[in-house]
Structure 1
């Protein structure tokens, strides 16, 4: 029998090849077993009961969610989120609890002007309610190979939730890295997790600094915004540290400008995906002569409806009873991918498209806006 070339090149290879040849062929169907394993760690949907509602501030609550059967929930990485389905649509919310505790997920939700789902959750959901979510997902988490063991986190408002998960993990599992949180809030009463953050500030490897935009007379800490001077004064030279940024959309371009002023390289800055752009017309590639409020016609198979140009296609589809799979609603995860068969759309800069998407007509509906009458395929 002819021997494989490896048998003569590596010690013991001949014996291993003989064992492989002597094995009986595997004929058992593993598909159900594999599906069960995948669903355990990466479920498409979870049914979670609200175990408790914790008042954080006058404008924010934490919803503690447990599995209906009381079993351990799927593991996640600190910084990830689950997508909550509610009122015919969905929104992603970062998990603020520690990944070392899988008996529950904490979702911290803050009231925002015009916030459809966040405000509905705050106003209507109580202990005992059952919510449908996705499993944990998202790329805004620490990667030790690329992010190093010293990181800075710039948070604004409820953007502190993923930072809280990271900090709680460090206190649960030990100081495997250094994390410096610089947390901007409107005023002292608006600080989320204030007392807990104060206790964490004494933990090895964790530094917490607060910056208040509108301080009361008794405030003695840093004031203003997360400016280059403030970042430099509090964190010192950034060097090669990875900087995470999470907060309201207005924080992102501002933080990028401040960090660029400090000479920090873009590749060492990570922004959490946080919704569709507030104003797509402000992006350079929006056609300047196109009226964003004018309605156009959208056709999806046997359904046709009208929608304004400045409304994301995903929102417009849901308004008309068409619900593509969705999660991040920020252009990152690609679950809401659609194909444009006819017409023209504006795809926001936030979309993480595949290289082949523009040529084949695909876009992410959560950050795509119809410029003309369009025909879509889901």
Structure 2
């Protein structure tokens, strides 16, 4: 059956009181204008209904996530804001129609002024340095629609007094002239080249981005410059690998990848089998469906963890993996420190077998009452009870055998009862401080439960364009 999207009126995307943080709350926006930006590409102006104003400020380079309810599911797609960050202006996003793209094709073909959309508040850490200086050098490298967050940064820089603007070098690659997004606007940013120098690479003309050429244009400032890369995953990997070999510190390289949620799905067959999620916060055991992500499983069972891009880029959905293994959970939305601490991206990760998670929160919605879900929940609970029963039976047999055995050397056979330990005495099966000796119980001591981490995170890959 053909999937149907509806946005003519406010979508029935429900995020009630969900227990989610403000990072995941959605607001209603009205489309004020739709203007062409390039071939198969349009720019939408969005504002609070009836006001002409945006819901608030944002940092140039950040993105929002749109929610589109279909007949079978809700689609989430993230788009970079391309304005200069002023709160008295509508938000602007630019959408390029993708081949076989359900949402981008719908937006391009059907969204018109007056319609309303559901959008998240701005997120992302792919932003300008907190302070800018005239002698500072910024290098922007963009491919295709990766120009959108960079265009936002360029517009913000142009608002600064000329003497305060940093030196900016823009390298922009696209297929052919018709695909150049913001070509007119880019040309008008600094015609005199007082602060902005541009290089455009047209694939059909045989132009190619090269690391050596990039470095040559920056010269001696390359190691001190801040590098911003937005485009395909291959472009990101190439520059993040090559630039450090030329002395550019990794901390100076900021990147963002545009991708759809379907492109980040796990391909490992081991992740396509049912799995089990043990939530240490509540002790619940959930059974996942083949190919289902952690986030999808949690939502199906009535939990509402934070999320935003749903494509593994922004890091909002990160949860802590305490045991077990996941497939495809370590995307660019995590810092090296977060990976080392055990965090995974729940919107793209799938469990391999049984895992334990912390930070999923409490159930705030009714469990989806389908027969399949009821069977899954009963099976998961039955398996858990069976494991507990086996553990208890094993301990009982061990205790019984102990009772019929003399465990003491002959010279201690007459020792006082106070000097011995029996199966019924408190210290026999000792539990380490702050822990549990029953890993299958679904319970954990307070010291092993970790809450949602703070919002501080990486400079790399914070959304999709």
TM-score normalised over the length of structure 2: 0.60
Shift of 1:232: 3.0
- For the 8 Å contact 1:179–1:206, the answer to whether it is kept is yes
Work out which of the residue numbers 231, 237, 244 in structure 2 matches 1:253: 237
In 2: Cα distance, 1:261 partner to 1:357 partner: 23
Report the counterpart of residue 83 of structure 1 in structure 2: 65
Cα separation, partners in 2 of 1:356 and 1:265, compared to 1, 3 Å = closer
Work out which of the residue numbers 223, 247, 256 in structure 2 matches 1:263: 247
Shift of 1:65: 0.5
In 1: Cα distance, 2:137 partner to 2:340 partner: 38
The alignment partner of 1:173 has SS state of: coil
Report the counterpart of residue 3 of structure 2 in structure 1: none
In 2: Cα distance, 1:103 partner to 1:349 partner: 33
In 2: Cα distance, 1:115 partner to 1:272 partner: 20
How many residue pairs get matched? 321
Report the counterpart of residue 166 of structure 1 in structure 2: 153
In 2: Cα distance, 1:91 partner to 1:72 partner: 19
The alignment partner of 1:371 has SS state of: strand
In 2: Cα distance, 1:274 partner to 1:315 partner: 21
Report the counterpart of residue 117 of structure 1 in structure 2: 103
- For the 8 Å contact 1:330–1:351, the answer to whether it is kept is no
TM-score normalised over the length of structure 1: 0.72
After superposition, where does 1:32-181 map in structure 2 within 5 Å?
Answer: 44-70=25-51, 71-87=53-69, 88-100=74-86, 102-145=88-131, 149-175=136-162, 176-181=165-170
Q: Superposition RMSD on alpha carbons, in Å? A: 3.5
Work out which of the residue numbers 209, 213, 226 in structure 1 matches 2:203: 213
- For the 8 Å contact 1:227–1:255, the answer to whether it is kept is no
The alignment partner of 1:121 has SS state of: helix
Point out the more displaced range, 52-61 or 292-301. Answer: 292-301
Report the counterpart of residue 32 of structure 1 in structure 2: none
Report the counterpart of residue 225 of structure 1 in structure 2: 208
- For the 8 Å contact 2:330–2:344, the answer to whether it is kept is no
Q: Which of the two has greater strand per residue?
A: 1
Shift of 1:136: 1.7
In 2: Cα distance, 1:58 partner to 1:143 partner: 32
Structure 2, unaligned stretches of length 5 or more?
1-21, 279-283, 361-465
Residue 350 (1) aligns with residue 339 (2): no
The alignment partner of 1:254 has SS state of: helix
Higher relative contact order (CA 8 A, sep 6+): 2
Q: Deviations over 1:207-248 (max 9, x none)?
A: 221111222xxxxxxx43321133134444424110100112
In 1: Cα distance, 2:105 partner to 2:304 partner: 21
In 2: Cα distance, 1:168 partner to 1:367 partner: 33
In 1: Cα distance, 2:160 partner to 2:174 partner: 28
Q: Deviations over 1:240-289 (max 9, x none)?
A: 1101001122211122234245432222111125457946779xxxxxxx
